[in-house]
Amino acid sequence: MAPYSSAQKQSIAQFVTITNEDAKIAAKFLRANDWSVEHAVDAYYRSGQGSSASVSALHKIFDSYRDAPEDNPDSIGIDGAMKFFGDIKVELDEVACFGVAELLKCPSMGEFTREGFVNGWKSVGCDSLDKMIEYGKKLRDEIRSTPDLFRRVYRYAFVLCRMQGQRNLNFDIAAEQWRLFFTDENGGISWNTPTTPWLDWYLEFLEQRGKRPVNKDLWEQTLEFMRKTHEDENFGWWSADGAWPGTLDDFVEWVQSKRKSAAGGEAMEVE
């Protein structure tokens, strides 16, 4: 068998970090899923190999947090969800909260279904509050250090934060979540750099455009754009003929104009 490429080795390492499996199992699932970490991890958990958790214990934990056992026996509502997050020591205003919600496939923020709760915790081998607390600690580090996991949690946030019946995100809600995901205070990754206040400029630009609703494509591509600006802040990767949303094309022009104006101002001061 040919040796793994550097990209494949990185994928194996990410799979091992997420699942705590050995490298041979990681390679097996990655090969079967065209080396997509996200798809390989999903396939791994669906196969049932990633669990030694007690299902009966998970049902018991779920039952202890239900808000209305008689009316909604298979649902945990906002009050129960807030208590649960408190008990596993995950704050509501940190990225790890979205990580748990993504793991448990919450239909909306502050709501758990029995199926999602049991299957999610079973997939990572957690069948007690103590294990869930430890998973939360581990999740904080993994979200920051594993790009595929960060991407998956970030994308799921779009689903959780939409108003019921809406296809797009309200701008103010989107801006609030961008401040969470793209700063490092509460478990996100800082978009701002020592040379460019990217997040501040992005929100300023969008506010000037009238705080339009944010669709799924713009939400997802904003993360990819953030990664690209970290690689090259001077847009060497950007092309006007690329497949970026028009909003991001306009933002590039806005940044370039802003930089040009700032440079001109500095030149005038020198003179």
- In this structure, are 94 and 178 located in the same domain? no
Residue type, 7: A
Whose structure tokens read 């705080």? 211
Q: What is the CATH number of the domain that holds 35?
A: 1.10.8.10
Residue 198 sits in the same domain as residue 139: no
Pair (200, 130) in one structural domain: no
Q: Is 190 inside any structural domain?
A: yes
pLDDT tens string 65-114: 999 888 889 999 999 999 999 999 999 999 999 999 999 999 998 899 99
Give the domain CATH number at 61: 1.10.238.10
Domain count, the chain: 3
The 10s digit of each residue's pLDDT in 200-235 is 999 999 999 999 999 999 999 999 999 999 999 999
Query: Across-strand partners of 111?
Result: 108
Both 69 and 145 in one domain: the answer is: yes
Under a CB-based contact definition with an 8 Å cutoff, are residues 218 and 153 in contact? Answer: no
| 227 domain residue, yes or no | yes
Q: What's the domain range around 143?
A: 55-153
Q: Give a yes or no: residue 87 inside a domain.
A: yes
Per-residue pLDDT at 227: 97
Rounded Cα gap, residues 223 and 229, in angstroms: 10
Question: For residue 2, what pLDDT is reported?
Answer: 64
- Same-domain pairing of 178 and 231: yes
Whether residues 12 and 79 fall in one domain: no
Instruction: Indicate whether 159 belongs to any domain.
Output: no
**Is the CB of residue 121 less than 8 Å from the CB of residue 58?**
yes
What is the DSSP code (8-state) at residue 236?
T
3-state helix, strand, coil in the chain (%, to 5): 60, 5, 35
In single-letter form, the type of residue at position 118 comes to V
Q: Is residue 191 part of a domain?
A: yes
Q: Are 30 and 70 members of one domain?
A: no
- pTM assigned to the model: 0.79
Q: Is 83 a member of any domain?
A: yes
- 224 and 131 in a common domain: no
The predicted structure's pLDDT at residue 267: 39
Among 153, 187, 220, the domain boundary falls at 153
Please indicate, yes or no, whether residues 42 and 81 belong to a single structural domain of this protein: no
> Same structural domain for residues 66 and 137?
yes
